[in-house]
Chains A and B, each alone.
Chain A
């Protein structure tokens, strides 16, 4: 359980550890009857703190799979994935749930807000798993919503928001627990170019101003241009 307070400046911890994510020989093979589909093939990759890494590659090249493993949602077939010094692949199901809650913010292409909850309530969800009081939670939710420019939309339901606003609420939900790592799977895939630009701006400032590490999958070279480093995946392997 974490009790970080967002009102404290969002600055990355000073750590001697050079990289926040260390991936070694990571493979993911799906078995479909007789055929094996290799989604990831012995990938090794290091991601430094405060980096804005963009992941590109053709459809089916394994981008989402890699992101899911880093975020502790999926498990590799073999290899290592160490995030902030923790071997994620070794955690049990329920340890992973807690670990995700405290260490990763996930942004989906389809926003995935809960339709029956307001913007405020959606953002508050991950905090319900912490020991924060409702007053502390409220403060943190409002700070997060302010950060994405939606302080005036707290009581709106997702269907009362535009796509771009929904995605910004989703970003607020991802960062409300103050995790070091934000991962986003094609976050602008469903947005018009203006909204996409707003979202990318926010992600970039999370990295530059708040000291977060951001990993973003995208198809769009214009979106990739917001990153500080770009990695290409091709048929489950890193392209040089």
Chain B
């Protein structure tokens, strides 16, 4: 038979003065944990939001990233006549060749420079990426050295406002519009006309090819491409390509887990200290409960529960502390393209739950030894304590 829950809850609350620092300590650990995890979630989401399940991406055999791939104009011409590509209303095949260029731009607030991907893209290329929407200004026009920029990127870098211009590779580029990539990887890109990009940056070849095809035809199409000696390209579903890039979230997750683990050791000791003090101060109470007929196990569970309640309160505080960062956007380096990736902290209900479970675990581990001590107190000795 267990002690009444209200007894444990009130026992924690009545000692709030001595438990407050422990509760806040646990809250801090949980906040760090949630923030780091939400960073990883946001980064993963940016990859997950990117691909269209009907699209195939073609890159040079052996390339793991679009930036390190090349597709010649002859190869692109051959691809256009493949039979399994879907057509638009006008009967044109939904296939587009992109050119990717890495440029360096100054961050806002004189915080140095960072690499950014410029994507030379065609009208069809935009059609294939419907998650990208123009939010302000207008779309670029070919031949006029105009670009549209991700709005999130514009918030983080100099000279990307509409009407502003920036210089790269000896050319002045004019920003005419902002787009929103709906949390996809395109939120980290600058887009311009495909032919403009190739001529301005002196590129003979394209970087990659994106096409739409019915997934049931993917097998045949892949066979055709990969067996053609003239092509030597590999075919990857677009979603898979971007989810492979998620590897960049792994170090963040790792760092987050490492930090949380290191900090939780401190929190566990704080909880242990608090609970030992509580047991010490309530020795006679424990003796009384035993005299009334409560068993050792009831005492053990009672103190474990108090540790859990304490930590749960800390967990709630941690969640509150971390919430303001939700949807705050930030950047990191994509280690495959070496360009800046912009994404949002993303606190999901699942993460909140994980944070609370994490907190309660800290409380349970921290209160284990004190609870065992309380349950083993000899009745007579504890009755004599003051």
Contacts and interface: CB of A to CB of B under 8 A. Distances in A.
A97 interface: yes
Contacts, number: 62
Given A73-B379, A114-B285, A116-B11, A94 B4 contact: no
A71 B291 contact: yes
B75 interface: no
A101 B296 contact: no
A97 B380 contact: no
Given A110-B284, A129-B293, A115 B1 contact: no
B295 interface: yes
A156 to B, nearest CB: 15
Contacts of B1: 128-129
A128 B285 CA distance: 16
B183 interface: no
B7 A100 contact: no
B380 A114 contact: no
A112 interface: yes
A108 B382 CA distance: 13
B14 interface: yes
Interface in A112-152: 112, 114-117, 121, 125-126, 128-129
Given A74-B380, A129-B1, A114 B291 contact: no
- Using C-beta atoms within 8 Å of the partner chain, give the interface range for chain A: 20 to 34
B152 interface: no
A168 interface: no
Band of interface residues on B: 20 to 34
A94 B380 contact: no
Interface in B267-325: 284-285, 287-296
A68 B3 CA distance: 23
A97 B284 CA distance: 17
A94 B375 CA distance: 12
Given A108-B383, A129-B1, A115 B14 contact: yes
B10 interface: yes
Interface of A: 68, 71, 73-74, 93-94, 97-98, 100-102, 106, 108, 110, 112, 114-117, 121, 125-126, 128-129, 173
26 contacts: A68-B380, A73-B290, A73-B379, A73-B380, A73-B383, A74-B379, A94-B296, A97-B293, A97-B295, A100-B292, A100-B293, A101-B293, A106-B292, A108-B383, A112-B287, A112-B383, A114-B288, A115-B14, A116-B10, A116-B11, A117-B10, A126-B292, A126-B293, A128-B4, A129-B293, A173-B292
Given A93-B296, A117-B6, A125-B292, 15 more contacts: A73-B290, A74-B379, A94-B295, A97-B294, A100-B291, A100-B293, A106-B292, A108-B383, A110-B284, A112-B288, A117-B7, A121-B4, A125-B289, A129-B292, A129-B294
Interface of B: 1, 3-4, 6-7, 10-11, 14, 284-285, 287-296, 379-380, 383
